[in-house]
Structure 1
């Protein structure tokens, strides 16, 4: 089966559901490749597979906003014991160092950490639960959450969609090879951004300890 025929055979509703679910779970605090799923779906929408990029962007935004809101509620209810529990069981994602880095970002930037956190892998997972743990007013969280979700999900969908349109002739010529290369380029780009974000986190100076006399 030709790549285009295979893409056309995938139900659009299934794509919307998977994107909304994965991004929602990631925003809730579960480490999942939401960005990779969104990039792949946006690329599909540019190849006449029946996936509407506008509907895709709306579903991705809804998943991000709802997932973050649920994460906020869980974090507010569970508090710091929840972070300690997650850190003990999932140290790779919720270790003390990651929590401290995310918390410093929240203390420095407030609601803007929620907005810009949507574009950073670590903060995208932490934003909702940590905002709840720190008792950020929900109205501030919601505004930043909605705006960040729209910009991230809508912007990513739009950029990848139009890149896919430009590359459509190239993809048709190379069939499977072209699709694989395009997906690899997307994956490599995401990994490079994650690596840069990780380096920036490690380069950030640790706060000086506070002595008892201060």
Structure 2
């Protein structure tokens, strides 16, 4: 870890911000890449006299929120069509999409807010919100606020406890492990819901009109 810190401290500050921001943004495209690692790294570097902690926060928070909203926009534009033909029809039918829409209409803002704290799930929620075309003003604020609270806390931890790297990394791994367990339970529940509803027939045109 010390070699990694020394390597980044030797880089130009602008390049450091770009790398940290890119790492934080990739999580929304490739969920196994944890944005938390790059945010914590930025806090450690700031504690060593490297990049400004406020700029670390802005770079990682802005990049992560921006990529989440980009995924949301792409899902709004193209997501529904993916599930209208081919294999997509078997992944999400019209009945399931309609039920998802009702869920988001009622619980969308708090669901998105709390999901942004859960590993894996935080990358899925903007895409699903886009597929059912939830309004941007119900997506952007909870995404931005939850990410600000989480990444702000991680940067603060990295800066204030940067002298004890192993302890902070272990603590963050423990917290993320607990959050991941919660996310897995939610994924399992969603899988059960999908399995139980996938065979329900799509409503016929005449039935939709009634």
Q: TM-score, normalised by structure 2?
A: 0.69
Q: Give matches, 1:10-89, under 5 Å.
A: 10-27=11-28, 29-31=29-31, 32-48=33-49, 50-82=50-82
Superposed displacement of residue 196, structure 1:
4.2
Q: Give matches, 1:56-205, under 5 Å.
A: 56-82=56-82, 106=104, 109-164=107-162, 168=163, 171=164, 179=165, 183=169, 186-199=172-185, 201-202=187-188
1:88-147: CA deviations, max 9, x gaps?
Answer: 8xxxxxx88xx99xx597466212222222211122111222111111111221222221
Which residue is equivalent to 2:204? none
More helix by share: 1
1:26-62: CA deviations, max 9, x gaps?
Answer: 23x32222122212222222222x1111110111111
Q: TM-score, normalised by structure 1?
A: 0.68
Q: 1:9 to 1:196 in 2, by over 3 A?
A: same
CA distance in 1, matches of 2:17, 2:56: 6
Q: 1:183 to 1:156 in 2, by over 3 A?
A: closer
Verify the 8 A CA contact 2:118 2:182 in the aligned structure 1. Answer: no
Structure 2 unpaired stretches of 5+:
202-210
Q: 1:117 to 1:200 in 2, by over 3 A?
A: closer
Q: CA RMSD in A?
A: 3.5
Aligned length: 186
CA distance in 2, matches of 1:122, 1:84: 25
**Further displaced range: 152-161 or 202-211:** 202-211
